[in-house]
Chains A and B, each alone.
Chain A
Amino acid sequence: MKNPFEAFHHTGARKREIPLDTILKSKEETLSKILTGYEDLLKNEAKDLVWLMQYSTVIKAYSIAEKGIEGLEYTAEDIEEFCYALDHSDQIPYLITGPAGIYISALCNHAQEQEICLHLRDLTVKINLLGYRLPTDKKLMVQGNVGDFTGIGLDGGELIIEGSGKNYTGAGMKRGKIVVRHNLGFNTGHGMTGGELMVGGRIKGLGKIVGGKLYERDQLIFPNEGIKPFYV
């Protein structure tokens, strides 16, 4: 029988592979590898869908995250893509913001780029622990709001938040600089020993600060006469 659509066969069609196809394919592959690493972290650290934020759990989770991304080649855009995948994708069974933040921090700390900008304005969840242990040679800029424990244990890097943060921002930071354009929550700078924390908006409450400098709307509020360093 004659194909009635034969006249359309190969008409004008070229269907060639263009570099865009390769870019998208490699993007998908990288994302899938990043997701695998994250799932491994969850399997190890949040078996019962519960993750307790403790000093030891954070350290352990970070070392698992580092192992998970070992040998992975990715860019800042891949990290951003992963953040949105966490938020929307059905590829991930669940999102636990603690381990997710540690995993993203590990990705940022080991990225090839020195400057990373994450556009997270459209994220519906606020990720905790972003900027954990950010090292000296790194600058991380986040567009959008972030969750609790942002920039904890900052290790010399520069963290800029173009939005607001929640509680315990800069807790335990040793050196480096955190700039938050808008507001911060309670226990800001809790246990920080060095570095600078600059807040463009308002701070709900300070933690027990040991060292470093803290500015609220360009005013140095720590150390000053009213707030003395807390010594353990």
Chain B
Amino acid sequence: MEIEHIIQKLWPRVRKKHFYPQLPLPVVIEGGEDCALEIKSKQLSISSAFYDKLKEDMDGEEIVEAVLDHGITHYMYCPWDFHTHLTLYNEAKKVVRQKDQAHRAATYFMDVVTDTYCVKEKDTNIATLYKNLPKTGVHEVLTALYEKIWGEDLGSGGHEELVNRLSRIPYLDRKSWKKSIKKFTEVIQHILEEEWNDEQMSSHRKPNPMGEHSLENYSLEEIDQGLREFAGAVGDLQEFKETVEDLKEELEEKGYGAGGMGRGKGNPLDANLLYYMKLAESYTLPIRKLPIEKRGYLHPHAHRPWEIGKPFADIDVWTSFGKIIPGITQIWTKREGETHGEYEGIPDCLIIIDSSGSMINPRERLSHAVLGAVCACNAYLKHESRAAVYNFSDALRGNKVVLEFSHDKEQIYQAICRYFGGGTALDLDDITSLLANADNPDIFIITDMQITNLEKLIDFFQRIDNRVTAVHLGHNVHTTRFKDGMAKKKNISLFNVKNKEDIPKIILGKVKEYLNSPAEWR
């Protein structure tokens, strides 16, 4: 085909122009005549029908080069990554409050940024392409905007007031994109509404001639990383939740599940869980190792699929086809040898979390208790240790979740995120029976210490030798009482968390004088 020949001829030159992006050779698809480009997982596909239609008015090579410039610049400049895309969508949504319109606003904004960048920085035929594209609805306004900000005659004009407002946006200032897209969306809001209403009536959607920007553009790794960055960047849980809920269908369709990647459909996405999961990935809590009797060295025992967050060092390159892709790449699962000796290791951990009425509901606002517990759980699971959960409110009346020691991250997260919102009392029998199921596990307790039977808890901790990391949220008479009660115990370390910045300061299993004399407190 003629177009394929042109792509092959132009591709080296276009790649050089854009500083050699790591993209595969673009392909030709049948496609529709209204949409030039499709990007799926970095594969640019040019529509042959679009090319054939436009060839009557424009040189073939110019068409292909302009479309490629546009597609590559999306990859190289805007949105660049999934986090930026999510951020732009989120800001647009704040203005239009409607998913579809926010998607479109983000798409149009990214197109303006991309094309303006190309026109300013590269030698491109994008302006000629726009001159020959049909100009209706929002595209009429955008072409008029291009005329004004690029200084080219594109055969549009009009919409003076809108264009005046749009032309004052600093499209190429990356730092202002959050502010810029809001202004951009405000200006074109009424056109978006009209367009949407028309489509509702006619049930036919007119595609964006330069292609749509959806989750199809991103790989699962990019989505995972983008969500992690987005969780850290957004102000609160609700904002994250709203955006993820909007994209839930697409994420699930792509096979993205909360428990990790590559789990496939049928694992419904819980935005709350995902928020804590992604936020927790930004924090790494150190764990002091513990001398464990009869624990030998680890040796490779069996294979299992690699997931993001698992150490690269354990990847078995020989069975992974030389690729780092979750689900395909194989990782060695290591098992303890039988050699006896005093080796240091990480024990299992019992996470005790308070979800009484005095604690924040983790599904409404960012709960530092849940975030801290999730971070602690991650730290142990990363070392192949197990975690158990005891989530309590008024445990004596049945307001509790007891989860046995397990490696199942999602199950553990769900147990941690459960909120009761009632009174606060612990059932120490439950804790005793959980502790009995592991070999001297660590205990991580996070609470505001306003526990009805606090004295019993203090007494219980006085009697045990397990390493205890106690995290209290804020100061009150109960925390002081707990502190005083535990003052002489060397196996208990106390941390105070006031905000999320305090969480990385927690050291799990920190034991006073442990480094000097490990045997002393045992």
Contact = CB atoms under 8 A, between A and B. Distances in A.
A122 interface: yes
Interface stretch (A19-27, A162-170, A196-204): A19-27
A20 B17 contact: no
Contacts of A20: 116, 120, 149-150, 167, 171-172
A134 to B, nearest CB: 21
B168 A13 contact: no
B384 interface: no
A77 B165 contact: yes
A11 B148 CA distance: 27
Contacts, number: 51
A148 B303 CA distance: 70
B19 interface: yes
Contacts of A19: 148-151
A24 B168 contact: yes
Given A14-B123, A15-B121, A23 B151 contact: no
B182 interface: yes
Contacts of B172: 20
A93 interface: no
Contacts of B186: 119
B454 interface: no
For the side of the interface on A, what is the size category? 10 to 19
Interface string B486-509: 000000000000000000000000
A23 B167 CA distance: 7
Contacts of B148: 19, 23
A164 to B, nearest CB: 19
B119 interface: yes
A216 to B, nearest CB: 29
A15 B120 contact: yes
Interface in A109-157: 119, 122
A23 B151 CA distance: 11
Contacts of B16: 11-12
Nearest to A119: B186
Interface in B157-212: 164-165, 167-168, 170-172, 182, 186
Interface in B98-157: 116, 119-123, 148-151
A122 B19 contact: no
B334 interface: no
B18 interface: yes
A231 interface: no
Contacts of A15: 120-121
A129 to B, nearest CB: 25
A8 B16 CA distance: 8
A6 B26 CA distance: 27
Contacts of B182: 122
A50 interface: no
B171 A12 contact: no
Contacts of A11: 16-17, 19
A8 B19 contact: yes
A11 B182 CA distance: 34
A79 B150 CA distance: 25
A128 B16 CA distance: 56
Contacts of B120: 14-16, 18, 20-21
B246 to A, nearest CB: 21
A75 interface: yes
B19 A23 contact: no
Contacts of A81: 168
Nearest to B182: A122
A16 B124 CA distance: 12
Nearest to A8: B19
B117 to A, nearest CB: 10
Contacts of A16: 120
Interface string A1-40: 0000000100111111011110110010000000000000
B111 to A, nearest CB: 15
B121 A13 contact: yes
A155 to B, nearest CB: 26
B168 A18 contact: no
Contact of A12 (B122, B164, B170): B122
B161 to A, nearest CB: 9
A14 B149 contact: no
Contact of B123 (A12, A18, A24): A12
A64 to B, nearest CB: 28
A87 to B, nearest CB: 12
B146 to A, nearest CB: 10
Contacts of A18: 116, 119-120, 149-151
Nearest to B170: A24
B490 to A, nearest CB: 50
A24 B180 CA distance: 13
Q: Which of A12, A18, A75 has the most CB of B within 10 A?
A: A12
Contacts of B171: 20
Q: Which of A14, A15, A20, A119 has the most CB of B within 10 A?
A: A20
Interface of B: 16-19, 116, 119-123, 148-151, 164-165, 167-168, 170-172, 182, 186
9 contacts: A11-B19, A16-B120, A18-B116, A19-B149, A20-B120, A20-B150, A20-B171, A24-B170, A27-B168
Given A18-B120, A77-B164, 18 more contacts: A11-B17, A11-B19, A12-B18, A12-B122, A12-B123, A14-B122, A14-B123, A16-B120, A18-B116, A18-B119, A18-B150, A19-B148, A19-B149, A20-B167, A24-B168, A77-B168, A81-B168, A119-B186
Interface of A: 8, 11-16, 18-21, 23-24, 27, 75, 77, 81, 119, 122
| The 9 residue pairs across chains A and B that have the minimum distance between CB atoms | A12-B17, A20-B149, A19-B151, A14-B123, A18-B120, A12-B122, A23-B167, A18-B150, A24-B170
